[in-house]
Structure 1
């Protein structure tokens, strides 16, 4: 094996965990830098019957990158841009990258119009020159964790605050190149290969086919990152997006770029109670076309109290004014012209006036500098939560932050807010609700003050999952299932659906080598 395989426990140890804080085990790890080296590592694992865990930046929080024995293929050194193209029919640029390239690296390269073009084709270089000579473009997929890898974003169909307008990662993937467990490969472009009435015949690069039937379950009609993405006549490219590395190893990703919005502005509005905040959110959701928000984010009173407390006691968040004791909704808008922006500002002010919001205390950001401050507020909440948990772990080392990732249909939003608030109060727990309320997708964080509260919080999450599933929701809207939520996926879809997922995996990975334990419990094979 020309690719170096590291077997020293000291070299392996740092790669046995991810942001979930769970820890696994592995016999070896390799760091390929090209598809040829990924293929080499894959063949070694296949010859030795070794389970494979594929890793990117390990920023996931459901344990998807934590190995269950066998070998780790870490793609962090597959981090180059491979080429660019101009998509004439859709009037957009396409950028092809390796899976280990970070989201932040892509955005930086686009902003500075600077990529390492070594090895690019003549066609790519022509497109790159056109890109450099024209206006500003960016990658509109939005995630909070900018150190995530593009491959990891594909793996979980990642999303974030501005996915309300721009959609999840799936919306921006124009093509993939994938290595299958047996070493065969497939290059997929969106719009080329489809399933038909639940059956598929995927043509591979060597002319052979993989044939099978798609699972028969129906996905909930909500923002969803639970299980395989399945529709009867689906584009087969979408099988690999959100599959958590269980069907193949993605070696190249072609992403669609978009023109950078000419104007962006944000508004942070405070409300006395959740009822008025919900009225505003419902009004925002009725906005369409040029006035549709890019992001609608909610923060409950406990979030603002925590930030205020840190402002007073530790002098943190000095870039922000003192926060009132209230609930808050952050909204961001993107526009192509000043006329569109002015009309939207006026429309939003009228909406708030009708609801009875306090416009005097509203924070409006129309300059890039002020907008950064509001975005800083949005990021301050999870940062403060992490600080609180780190402090409490000194007394209770086994506790962690407990956070939900569930979403519900539109008509269940008010109900689920009541469910969360009532349960937290009934158990006497410290909890905060915040996140992507535009998609009915809130993150509820329980901050346990003891081992007993930690156990209570975990039990509460299972009860919430049961009720939200019954209400037509999902157990994971953006983080994926990984290895930590397999029981919740089973509860959501049932035994038959999970059995069908296993059959689908077996079509692509008969030996069950790829990312065992992700999505469904590992049973020594697929």
Structure 2
């Protein structure tokens, strides 16, 4: 079925919606809403809305659409590309859409699914799965309460596989950006775990889109009927997506599921207000940090681990030689994670990974791991291992300490150069080009005499190369180099944004990846769904 019927939300008077009017008032009382984690800052917009339900959201959207006022949708504002920073017009915050609404078991998919509003954070979802308590369900239908009671009796532990680094991120934001993280290596990005969404269009009407119901026609068409009987039809884009982790541009595929058009579209097609997410049963794990002789050996071992069918790693992360040195410099300073032994002085690189582990049955798995590591000239004895949550969390804390340290270094340099900022890649390439892309990164950074480190999702060929400019001239040179990095990734069939999206800050890279004709295909979809072009102006397109 390629036709879908939009629905009208309950009528609410616009005067009921909490709204702060005037930029001076917004800036004085709500300065946090002028920016997000990208540190891009709004210079002017007129309205800040805080709808507390879908009727109020619909009222605000209808009014703004009729007046053709640009509107930016914001969640937790944890994005790194300025997507929730308004260039003008209005900002609508969905932070009050913060209710976990239900949990149900789907017998056809043999999985538990959580229904939640867009403002629920990843951390709040995690807390619910641990406590199995949902505040505010006293008046919920009996069927909802019965399913919750059934979930409480299930002896297994469950988790939500997507794991973007920032646990305060809202579910709605992660769906809008198809967010990913370390565990994307095994479980895929957010898209793979979304079973349904509700999305509000620019005119205030909404679509309920379950996965598996609405598919593009054989000729690539979707049709949306409005609540008043009008229809709009559009063709899905005809380009091919890279065969790697990717968060740049609209998803497209022959006879694709409509839900996937909205997931990852960065809010330019609609505001996602609720979603159904799938859970997975938690298994015992072992986390390891394998120390190595060189970054080249890390590339070799990455390829060996990926090709060994006996090993099922949840994630596969990388510490370059200069990243390990950065961590060594921190070891005797306050804030270094407790319980972490000294990093071996002769370690010149490392891989950090996690996999299923049953101590009573996994001798064969550990034997396979040792064999694979030895085949690359490394020694399993030169590793750290953790099986309890406390130790595993300290390993993850070590990983997160890297970007935190980089940010603190840059913050100090801003005292002398206020306009300076770090430069970090978000590129990914197909598996076979990992060594080539790494050589390109390393040779160019060394030739430019930059201060730099590299870490991140090597399992997906998605290494975060971070340059720490020491002055404004190095910032300028680094920006030029990063454009060369993006060009090279595209030449190798990769993505200019593997996980952060395009937002407002990566437009130049976006145009390296897509031709003008392909971008025009995306614009045609946008125009069909949002003919006045009000939603998330300046984002992606």
Q: TM-score, normalised by structure 2?
A: 0.92
Which residue of structure 1 aligns with residue 298 of structure 2? 277
1:114 and 2:133 are equivalent in the alignment: yes
Aligned-pair distance for 1:278? Answer: 1.8
Partners of 2:295 and 2:348 within 8 A in 1: no
Unaligned runs of 5+ in 1: 521-526
In 1, the alpha carbon distance for the partners of 2:235 and 2:361 equals 47
Separation in 1 of the partners of 2:203 and 2:187?
Answer: 36
Q: Distance in 2 between matches of 1:438 and 1:340?
A: 26
Correspondence 1:23 to 2:41:
yes
1:71-150 to 2 correspondences below 5 Å: 71-116=90-135, 117-134=137-154, 135-150=156-171
Contact 1:186–1:205 (Cα < 8 Å) also in 2: no
Task: Give the structure 2 partner of residue 306 of structure 1.
Answer: 326
- Per-residue deviation, 1:318: 4.2
Q: Which residue of 2 aligns with 1:316?
A: 336
Provide the C-alpha distance between the structure 2 equivalents of 1:253 and 1:40, rounded to a whole number of angstroms.
21
Answer yes or no: is the 8 Å Cα contact 2:222–2:236 preserved in 1: no
- Give the superposition deviation at 1:54: 0.2
Q: Does 1:292 align with 2:306?
A: no
Distance in structure 2 (CA, Å) of the matches to 1:465 and 1:342: 43
Are residue 195 (structure 1) and residue 216 (structure 2) matched? yes
CA distance in 2, matches of 1:111, 1:211: 44
Q: After the TM superposition, which residues 452-491 of structure 1 pair with which residues of structure 2 at under 5 Å, given as runs? A: 452-491=473-512
What is residue 178 of structure 1 aligned with on the other side? Answer: 199
> In the TM superposition, what are the counterparts of 1:409-424 in structure 2 within 5 Å?
409-424=430-445
Q: Within 5 Å, give how 1:35-434 maps onto structure 2.
A: 35-116=54-135, 117-134=137-154, 135-203=156-224, 206=227, 209-261=231-283, 263-288=284-309, 291-312=311-332, 316-324=336-344, 325-335=347-357, 337-339=358-360, 341-434=362-455
List per-residue Cα deviations over 1:6-38 (Å, max 9, x = no partner): 022323432111111111131110111211111
- Cα drift, residue 204 of structure 1: 5.2
- Indicate if the aligned counterparts of 2:338 and 2:394 stay in contact, CA closer than 8 A: no
Q: 2:215 & 2:62 partners in 1: Cα distance?
A: 29
Cα distance in 2 for residues equivalent to 1:502 and 1:58: 25
1:156-191, Cα deviation, whole Å (9 max, x unpaired):
100000111111000010000111111221101100
Determine the C-alpha separation between the residues in 2 that align with 1:388 and 1:190.
45
In 2, the alpha carbon distance for the partners of 1:266 and 1:198 equals 47
> 8 Å contact 1:110–1:138 — kept in the other structure?
yes
Q: Is the 8 A contact 1:311 1:318 kept in 2?
A: no
> What secondary structure is seen at the aligned counterpart in 1 of 2:313?
coil
Report how many residues are paired: 517
Distance 1:297 1:14 in 2: 32
Does structure 1 retain, via aligned residues, the 8 Å contact 2:240–2:253? Answer: yes
Q: Deviations over 1:370-402 (max 9, x none)?
A: 212211221121111112111111111111111
Counterparts of 1:111 and 1:313 in 2: how far apart (Å)?
33
Q: Residues 214 and 230 of structure 1 are in contact (CA less than 8 Å); yes or no, is this contact kept in structure 2?
A: yes
**Using a 3 Å threshold, how does the CA distance of structure 1 residues 377 and 14 change in structure 2: closer, same or farther?**
closer
SS of 1:97's partner is strand
Task: Look up the match of 1:523.
Answer: none
Report if the CA contact (8 A) 2:57-2:204 is conserved: no
RMSD: 1.6
TM-score in terms of structure 1 length: 0.95
For the 8 Å contact 1:201–1:209, the answer to whether it is kept is: no
